[in-house]
Structure 1
Amino acid sequence: MNIEAIKSLASEMAGDLNQNKMEPYAESLMSVISGLDKPERQANALRTIESVCHVKAYGDLFLETLPGYEWLDKVSKLRHLCCEQQNQKE
């Protein structure tokens, strides 16, 4: 697993948030994504992204433009990717 996959999915999700008029969430996610490029901030960025993917955070949002469980699937996948990346670093 690599950081690029996490950045790609997180950026896609930020776009989904923007499309659904949830700009504050999108901006927050984009600012954390930028931390993935800096080795000294990467671990904290991964933890932050993992925490916003909790069911009571981004997992609790309803996005009209995404059918069915597509949003929840993305949230779950991003959290899983972050956990895997953190486990590789340990």
Structure 2
Amino acid sequence: MRVISGSRKGHRLKSPKGLDTRPTQDRIKESLFNILGDIKEDSLVLDLFSGSGSVGIEFLSRGSKECYFIDNSLNSIKTIGYNLDATKF
């Protein structure tokens, strides 16, 4: 799994361990962002059921101002923190 576009394009992202999460595939993220179009710099994003945080990190990479990550799994929250540190957000 990786960031597919923007300032952090190509950065690899870690996935939470276990079978509770299924990472959003790159082609699904590409379709989502093709539908949404350009991301405005003052955009605020809410990434619900974040898992690895890949969708929210993709928004940040494309210029969103802020992203709030919501997940009820401690493992996912730790993974999101790791991925944010790795991408320097």
Normalized against structure 2, the TM-score is what? 0.35
Normalized against structure 1, the TM-score is what? 0.34
**Higher share in helix:** 1
